[in-house]
Amino acid sequence: MAWALKLPLADEVIESGLVQDFDASLSGIGQELGAGAYSMSDVLALPIFKQEESNLPPDNDNKILPFQYVLCAATSPAVKLHDETLTYLNQGQSYEIRMLDNRKMGELPEITGKMVKSIIRVVFHDRRLQYTEHQQLEGWRWNRPGDRILDLDIPMSVGVVDPRANPTQLNTVEFLWDPSKRTSVFIQVHCISTEFTMRKHGGEKGVPFRIQIDTFKENEAGEYTEHLHSASCQVKVFKPKGADRKQKTDREKMEKRAPQEKEKYQPSYETTILTECSPWPEVTYVNNSPSPGFNSTHNSFPVAEGNGSPNHQSEPVMQVADFSTHLLRGDSDRQQNLLPTATPQEAQQWLHRNRFSPFCRLFTNFSGADLLKLTREDVIQICGPADGIRLFNALKGRAVRPRLTVYVCQESQQAREQQQKHENGDGTTNTFFVYHAIYLEELTAVELTEKIAQLFSISPRQISQIFKQGPTGIHVLVSDEMIQNFQDEMCFVLDTMKAETNDGYHIILK
């Protein structure tokens, strides 16, 4: 029993000794890391921290880029720190991008006094959509025929020279500019972020886009192929006024957050600075031509030519040859109709002539007979309701129905004698009266005067007044209100009477 009682005592002694040794070691650590001996620089100088620091990428914050692009639109306040900024844009609204020259003295002297070329494009931010970009854009083109994803607002832009937009690349525009001069380009984005979502049930989040600018200098061959700088930013596009509402919603959400939570988010800046990025792949630069240079064989279609001044006249997108006479029928441009015998090339010319140029690519292989076979529903589905109805009416040659039609006949002396004999019972009248149709749109006395003068091949000034014969033979002055109360397809016999005050005539409608 005595031996059994000594075991716990020995255990207590051993445990007490261990505790004392552990306390002594802790106290030693406290003395070594006291306030007088502790230094953060000494800790950071340890080899382990030096090794990690050497593996970090070089700091580019102090790197001076040759150019800087500033999008004049506010960034969202609901973006966390260290995340890329996000900017909301309204569909179709013009936004300024300032093209700034950041070169140091003597940097890139080869472009001093010369032009550079910049290509602006709207592309997908998500990698998944980037892989299917061609299919996505073709689907958008089919749903929005004649529209572009990205446009330049030429009248508002400053310092932009030779702006171009390729009809086959809806999301790309390009132009020349002089870095030594003030340059601001205004862009319009016409697609919205929700147009590329998988399912559209309302309330879904739209996909983000990227606005990327690639700048090139001229090579020895005069082509702008040598890359200088690229930068981009992340944007979302909403329906008109939608970006303003989204910005306000994000701002209100941030105001409701606790101060500690607000510190995790970026502040909202009035402008968006595009950050440096890799250049866009060369295979999609300008068009199907092997070189993206600005030269005499450039295949892209000009939007406007010149220095962006208001007095500059834009050049036509495509030169359209005059129509062959066998293609058209009618005696005026308004009556020119497409014939079934028209070839695909002649059908393309007809579309250009009648202001259907945006749809020429859709009807590239259509002959006149192919177009005329389209039903009203087919054309509306292809071109949309507004342009579809207009194209269908043009194909069918439908003229606009006038508001009022009247028939007039000039009374001759022979007709008067025949009428007098008929009234006296001396014989029957065999007079054959020929009437002419007058079509009125404005329903005014001035318009009726001009139409009657045109019918008689005289000047409207020779007609002093127009009267309508009323009850008991009275002469009632024809006014605008009287014409507006005429019944459609009324018949009148015109009689003339010499005016007393001048060499003109009075017209009497009987």
**What is the C-alpha to C-alpha distance for residues 235 and 84, in angstroms, rounded to an integer?**
10
- Beta-strand pair 183-189/150-152: antiparallel
pLDDT value for 431: 61
Assess whether 437 and 495 both reside in one domain: yes
List, in sequence order, the alpha helices (H) in 366-412. Answer: 368-372, 376-383, 385-396
Assess whether 92 and 228 both reside in one domain: yes
DSSP symbol at 97: E
**Treating both helix axes as pointing N-terminal to C-terminal, what angle do 385-396 and 376-383 enclose, rounded to 10 degrees?**
140
The region that residue 92 occupies, defined by phi over 0 for left and psi between -120 and 50 for alpha, beta otherwise, is left
Are 228 and 108 within 8 A, CB to CB? yes
**What is the C-alpha to C-alpha distance for residues 465 and 472, in angstroms, rounded to an integer?**
20
pLDDT value for 132: 75
Q: How many domains does the chain have?
A: 3
**What is the C-alpha to C-alpha distance for residues 349 and 357, in angstroms, rounded to an integer?**
9
Residue pointed to by tokens 């004649």:
146
SS3 call for 283: helix
Q: Tens digits of per-residue pLDDT, 310-323?
A: 333 333 333 333 32
Are 439 and 455 within 8 A, CB to CB? no
The answer to the question of residue 331 being in a domain is no
Assess whether 253 and 348 both reside in one domain: no
Assess whether 206 and 169 both reside in one domain: yes
Largest CA distance in the chain: 171
**What is the C-alpha to C-alpha distance for residues 476 and 497, in angstroms, rounded to an integer?**
14
DSSP symbol at 302: B
Q: Cα-flanking dihedrals φ and ψ of residue 188, to 5°?
A: -130, 130
pLDDT value for 302: 37
Cβ-proximal residues to 313 (8 Å cutoff; 6+ apart), any chain:
none
Assess whether 390 and 464 both reside in one domain: no
| Residue 459: CATH number of its domain | 3.10.20
pLDDT value for 89: 94
pLDDT value for 426: 58
The answer to the question of residue 92 being in a domain is yes
Closest CA to 174 of 115, 260, 125: 115
Beta bridge partners of 490: 406
**What is the C-alpha to C-alpha distance for residues 177 and 115, in angstroms, rounded to an integer?**
5
Assess whether 205 and 151 both reside in one domain: yes
331: burial class by Cβ within 10 Å (0-12, 13-18, 19+)? exposed
Assess whether 268 and 376 both reside in one domain: no
**What is the C-alpha to C-alpha distance for residues 359 and 352, in angstroms, rounded to an integer?**
9
Residue type, 181: K
Assess whether 382 and 450 both reside in one domain: no
For the chain, 510 residues long, the average pLDDT of each consecutive 10-residue run is 45 52 49 43 42 40 78 92 91 94 82 90 83 79 85 92 87 92 93 78 75 91 88 92 91 89 89 90 43 35 37 35 34 60 86 83 84 86 84 77 85 60 57 81 87 84 86 87 88 84 81
Tokens of 233: 């930013």
The answer to the question of residue 25 being in a domain is no
Assess whether 443 and 390 both reside in one domain: no
- Domain holding 391, by residue range, is 344-396
DSSP symbol at 408: E
Assess whether 106 and 205 both reside in one domain: yes
The residue out of 229, 258, 276 marking a domain boundary is 276
